[in-house]
Amino acid sequence: MQRIIHIPILRQIDDIIETIKEARLSDKPIQFIVTKDIQIIDDMVSNPRLVSQVDRFIPKPPLGQKLTGSSSALQYSLGFQSNPTDAGWQLGSEISVPKPTLFVLNLFNTENNSADYQSLFSELKKFVLVYSGAVRSQILNSKTHLPEEQFPAILKSSIIVLCSQVPELPSGIVLYSKIIRVKTPNGENFRYLIRQLIKAYDGVDVQAQGQKYEEYQREMERHLRGLSQTKIEQIFAIIKNRLQKVYFDDYGSEDQSHRKEVKEIIQREKQSFIESSDLLKLVDCDNAPQPAGLNNLVKWLLNNKKKITCYNEEHQLRAASMPKGILMSGIPGSGKSMTARYVANLLDLPLLKLDFGDLLDKWQGNSEHRMQAALDAAIEMAPCVLWVDEIEKAFSGANSNNEAPSKRMISKFLTWMQDKEREEASCFVFATANSIIGMPPELFRSGRFDAKFYTFLPSYADCVEIFKQTLTYQNAAFTKLNPDKELFNVEELVNEFQRMLVSDVVLRDKVPNISKETKPDAKIYTKETSANRFFTGSDITTLIEVSKDLCYLEHPHPEITRKDNKGVSHTYVYDTAAYKIALRKALDQIKTYGETNLRDCAETFSQICYTNFMPAAKPILHTDSTCYDELRFKQGAADITQRENRVYDMGEYVKELEQGNEYDKQMYYLIRNSINNNIREFKIRRERR
């Protein structure tokens, strides 16, 4: 069994030591080293450049025991007295440290209400009192004009505090402290680590391998970038134990079997890392189907897939910018969650779900710490897709004076979205929102996301496609377990659903067609009704499930064998004629989103028009200014049927709609009328965000 091999990265250690020395010279004797790699601290503390003039000292019984060799940093009460002595530091009542000393501590819990935090900062406050007293006691030499140190042992001593996150520093400590972030291996440091690990495990000098090694290096960098050094070393040890070597030169071959095995090992280790945390959830997205109808979004993803998944190579080839992500807004049930799974499946990346509600904590400051920990974990999983679901719930309180934690979490998240490019980790954000009302305007500014899409009530064609796709998917899953049976006769049921969409059972209260030759009546033009049953994708899925239950209750053993047009026999679990009847009965038992929330749909659309969102599917309603323009509306206008007084009109799309189907036309008319009738209310709500 191969043990883990540790490779000190000398350049990284030298950079940290130089930063520590600069902090000492600027009277900042406390250095917080932010990292999860304790081994890096051991490498640094044992380096003679850091400890050549001072001794490492950790007060652990018996008091005064010196550390020898490499040892993990420990946390222990320093027991500082409040006043300096001529002998140096006075620890407790018996032990004194008569020469400059480097104290190495570990802050395990950075939450300011924790016992670790309170205990450590109580000792650090004593340290600051002693240190500041020694500074003030210096005397200026009248001849040399240089300060004469009364307590050199104190002034040349310092404390290194190892912590996994940046702690909230009390005001009395912050002036004497320096925050030093240890970056995960990147650039030349990463390449050096990989070369040395290969040499240590396989005995191969890969610098002489040429193009084959360059391909291997790019692949490993893509999958391991963002992970800590210790995690990378653990993964290489696992690869060695399972595959007997770590470097494979089949990255240019057609088979690439070892490449796939290495990738699977890395992904499993990343998954175990996420599963051990309560901050993020790893979502299974294998074989996630393409959402029906969202063709514009799918096209955008296919065009940008290489840039998202192979950012480093694309950046080198054409200076491509770091992919940021997508913001997708739309009404509930329009396929946003399904799309998140499809995006991760299409990009072949792990899908992490971030729920802002899981990060909230009753203690002040803890919510922000949990947010930072979650974002750090996402960086370590890169390349990945970070799914922020219903982002408006976290951001809706941004404008309230009573939501200080939410504001700080928002600020941290937005800053991270800008700064993750400097981390060189491709963490693709997929944020969804049911409504953008109440969300801060800075979220929509140019450059925050790569693209902003909206989903709406699906059109007639999209409804049919969703219905067909759902039946086909259920058929395939059922037939896989029961090869001699099928659930549905998909073709006949799709035809029935098409007829039902334009029938009176769905369109129960139509708006009459408006011709150009006749001036429309104001009552007709402004008619607003919720009687028509406009579907979302979720409504269609519910309709199918309720129909299955009704059909089974009336026909508990309905299996019927039928021949298709080609003479092939099919055994269907649900009789087609009975299921058609069940569809119409089920429609009376459910409430579609178009019935219950038509005005919400109109309000959502009116918001989208002002935030430069693109349609994820072919739109029935267009957001350009030729159709939607508040400037046309005159306050107090008597006749809203006149074009100059209308807010929303069919404009140049009238021909396309008139030649289309009744379902799309009725949806257009009623959404338009709802916007016109409630524009004052919609406008006020938008201005409040």
- Structure confidence by residue, pLDDT tens digits, 549-588: 999 888 776 667 776 666 677 788 898 889 999 999 999 9
- Which carries the bigger pLDDT value, residue 114 or residue 638? 114
- Which carries the bigger pLDDT value, residue 253 or residue 121? 121
- Residue 356: pLDDT above 90? no
- Which carries the bigger pLDDT value, residue 98 or residue 430? 430
In angstroms, the CA 277 to CA 323 distance is: 26
- Residue 332: pLDDT above 60? yes
Looking at residue 56, what is its pLDDT?
43
**Average pLDDT in the chain:** 78
Looking at residue 628, what is its pLDDT?
64
- Which carries the bigger pLDDT value, residue 161 or residue 361? 161
Structure tokens given for 351: 């899908």
Residue 173: other Cβ atoms inside 10 A: 17
Helix, strand, coil percentages for the chain (3-state, nearest 5): 50, 10, 40
Most confident range (mean pLDDT) of 238-247, 512-521, 671-680 is: 238-247
Q: What does the pLDDT average to over 433-456?
A: 80
Looking at residue 338, what is its pLDDT?
87
Q: Do the beta carbons of residue 17 and residue 47 sit within 8 Å? A: yes
Low-confidence winner among 79-93, 377-391, 451-465, 466-480 (lowest mean pLDDT): 79-93
Q: Name the strands in the sheet holding 55-56, side by side, starting at the edge strand that comes first in the sequence.
A: 55-56, 101-107, 158-163, 30-34, 177-181
- Residue entry with tokens 């130089």: 18
Q: What does the pLDDT average to over 268-294?
A: 80
Burial of 481 (0-12, 13-18, 19+ CB in 10 A): exposed
Q: Provide the 8-state DSSP code for 511.
A: P
pLDDT bin (cut points 50, 70, 90) of residue 641 is low
Q: What does the pLDDT average to over 478-497?
A: 91
Q: What does the pLDDT average to over 465-484?
A: 90
Q: What does the pLDDT average to over 13-23?
A: 90
Burial of 181 (0-12, 13-18, 19+ CB in 10 A): exposed
Looking at residue 472, what is its pLDDT?
93
In angstroms, the CA 499 to CA 490 distance is: 14
pLDDT bin (cut points 50, 70, 90) of residue 86 is very low
- Residue 64: pLDDT above 60? no
- Residue 174: pLDDT above 60? yes
- Residue 248: pLDDT above 60? yes
Report helix, strand or coil for 295.
Answer: helix
Q: Do the beta carbons of residue 643 and residue 632 sit within 8 Å? A: yes
Low-confidence winner among 21-30, 288-297, 510-519, 591-600 (lowest mean pLDDT): 510-519
- Residue 643: pLDDT above 70? no
Residue 302: other Cβ atoms inside 10 A: 10
Structure tokens given for 66: 């010196």
Looking at residue 99, what is its pLDDT?
66
Q: What does the pLDDT average to over 223-231?
A: 84
Residue 515: other Cβ atoms inside 10 A: 10
- Residue 87: pLDDT above 50? no
For 80, the enclosing helix (H) or strand (E) is none
Looking at residue 633, what is its pLDDT?
57
Q: Provide the 8-state DSSP code for 591.
A: -
Low-confidence winner among 89-98, 341-350, 455-464 (lowest mean pLDDT): 89-98
- Residue 73: pLDDT above 50? no
Residue type, 399: N
pLDDT bin (cut points 50, 70, 90) of residue 440 is confident
Low-confidence winner among 67-81, 309-323, 357-371, 635-649 (lowest mean pLDDT): 67-81
Q: What does the pLDDT average to over 132-151?
A: 73
Q: What does the pLDDT average to over 224-245?
A: 89
Residue 71: other Cβ atoms inside 10 A: 13
Cite the DSSP H helix spans in 382-459.
392-395, 404-419
- Residue 425: pLDDT above 70? no
Residue type, 173: I
Strand pairing category for 569-572 and 384-388: unpaired
- Residue entry with tokens 């139509």: 510
pLDDT bin (cut points 50, 70, 90) of residue 636 is low
Angle, alpha carbons 418-376-102 (nearest 5°): 110
- Residue 125: pLDDT above 80? yes
- Which carries the bigger pLDDT value, residue 110 or residue 360? 110
pLDDT bin (cut points 50, 70, 90) of residue 443 is confident
Q: Which residue pairs, CB below 8 angstroms and at least 24 apart, start in 66-72?
A: 70/42, 70/46, 71/42, 72/38, 72/42
Q: What does the pLDDT average to over 658-671?
A: 85
- Which carries the bigger pLDDT value, residue 401 or residue 189? 189
- Residue 635: pLDDT above 80? no
Q: Could you tell me which residues are beta bridge partners of residue 30?
A: 159, 177
- Residue entry with tokens 């042992």: 153
Looking at residue 582, what is its pLDDT?
94
pLDDT tens for 387-421 read 998 887 766 554 444 466 667 777 788 888 877 76
E strand map for 336-462: 351-354, 384-388, 427-433, 451-455
pLDDT bin (cut points 50, 70, 90) of residue 686 is low
